[in-house]
Amino acid sequence: MKLESYWLDTAPATPLGDEGPVQGRVDVAVIGGGFTGLSAAVALARRGATVALLDAGRIGGGASGRNGGQVNTGVAQDFAALAAQLGIDRARSYYLAYAAAVDTVERLIREEAIDCDYLATGKLKLAAKPQHYEHLAKTAELIHREVDQNIELIDASRIGDEVQSERFYGGLLQRHGGQMHMGKFAAGLAQAARRHGATLHEHAPVTAIVKQGGGGYRVVSDRGELGATNVLIATGPSKHGPFAWYRRRLAPVGSFIIVTEPIGAEAVARIFPQRRAYTTTRLMHNYFRVTADTRLVFGGRARFTASERPSDEKSGRILQRNLAELFPQLAKARIDYCWGGLVDITADRLPRAGQHDGLYFSLGYSGHGTQMSTHMGQVMADVMDGRADANPWRDLPWPAIPGHTGKPWFLPIVGAYYRIKDVFY
């Protein structure tokens, strides 16, 4: 079993970064080489801007290369609860922003000819308890009436046509969405950015961003420094660098994934005949999907802790037990990969994007980042071009999480609360 991301291990081996030093002057310095930064670099370079992207490690090596590989519409929270909290108009606009994000991913794949095994089969949210199905039914009625008619409620009598497991009581199918190979998509975006003229720097952690008296910024990294008229912060839950203001507003929660050996086309057709992207309704939920080479990618919030090798191994064992409970027919499948990553969660699970102290930023995708991060890279290019109204999150305040200075001491408490609540809800 490899303790590394399947997406990164099987991504194209072509170098994505430029070997030269960080130097010169650009129109925009992008800090972070995940989907937000890469997508922004593509959009800005296509418009003729000079762009330099700096990543502390490997391009696509953070959350963008360590997730479950799903590209889904729908907000991170329950739509009915969001509508009750913010009003139906705002909830609708956020739902449509995620639908637009799926469109952005699909458009970039077409326009830049990115080979990433994209499969547009939608997402099926699976009810883990009978009362969960009742709630899904009410939510589906609201979504269908107010924002999206391209959904379907699947009851217990038909759930076997979707997934071969005795543990589910129905589900909510959102057809607009898909899945892809994250490593191949990151490589494709990076190659597109370079093709359009952007410069990409790997292993170049930013240590300082200094505002210049005559305008612009000096961006200092371990591999040199450069001048930039504008800066876009797209780091995700970075533990290092001059990003304390953002760290106080994000809770970096570990999410963990295992990948089986290839289970074969016959087993896939029997167990997952529609090859959807799947997620369950529990708070300590699981998400899963099948790869192009017939492996099962199976993840979840196995433990509320950071990702590191001992934690990843423990979480992998928990996920293996969960997999066997949901799909006993796969209990003996060999586990070839196990890894973890950090999800940058905001207090309300809505993204944040805009400007702080002159710097542009887009962060906090809260577990739904694959499509939204890609979309927001394009959006932030529009914002820097003078279109502030393109940003769907522009009016959201972003106070610091009380008592949070960057190290999420409260995660074990949250995890215990979720486990208890899962028993009774």
Write the pLDDT tens digit of every residue in 99-110.
Answer: 999 999 999 999
Highest mean pLDDT among 155-169, 244-258, 393-407: 155-169
Report the SS3 class of residue 180: coil
| % of residues, the chain, pLDDT over 90 | 82
Q: How confident is the model at residue 351 (pLDDT cuts 50, 70, 90)?
A: very high
Mean pLDDT, the chain, rounded, equals: 93
* Pairing between β-strand 25-31 and β-strand 51-54 as defined by DSSP bridges: parallel
DSSP assignment letter at 22: B
134-143, 202-211, 245-254, range with the lowest pLDDT: 245-254
pLDDT of residue 285: 87
The answer to whether residue 414 scores a pLDDT higher than 70 is no
Start-end of H helices in 31-70: 35-46
C-beta separation of 6 from 297 below 8 A: yes
| % of residues, the chain, pLDDT over 70 | 93
Q: What CATH topology corresponds to 6-414?
A: FAD/NAD(P)-binding domain (3.50.50)
The answer to whether residue 207 scores a pLDDT higher than 50 is yes
The answer to whether residue 421 scores a pLDDT higher than 90 is no
Overall average pLDDT of the 234-239 stretch = 86
Nearest residue to 405 (alpha-carbon basis) of 254, 253, 249, 207: 249
pLDDT of residue 214: 87
Nearest residue to 362 (alpha-carbon basis) of 351, 347, 378, 350: 351
Position with higher pLDDT, 313 vs 326 = 326
Position with higher pLDDT, 256 vs 413 = 256
pLDDT of residue 239: 80
* Pairing between β-strand 70-72 and β-strand 177-179 as defined by DSSP bridges: antiparallel
- Token code pair at residue 346: 């905001």
The answer to whether residue 406 scores a pLDDT higher than 80 is no
pLDDT of residue 278: 97
pLDDT of residue 14: 85
Q: Does the pTM exceed 0.75?
A: yes
pLDDT of residue 417: 47
**Phi, psi values for residue 344, rounded to 5°:** -90, 95
Overall average pLDDT of the 144-168 stretch = 97
Distance CA 222, CA 94 (A): 38
The answer to whether residue 166 scores a pLDDT higher than 50 is yes
The C-alpha R_g of the chain, in whole angstroms, comes to: 21
pLDDT of residue 112: 98
Overall average pLDDT of the 343-368 stretch = 94
Overall average pLDDT of the 44-65 stretch = 96
Report the SS3 class of residue 54: strand
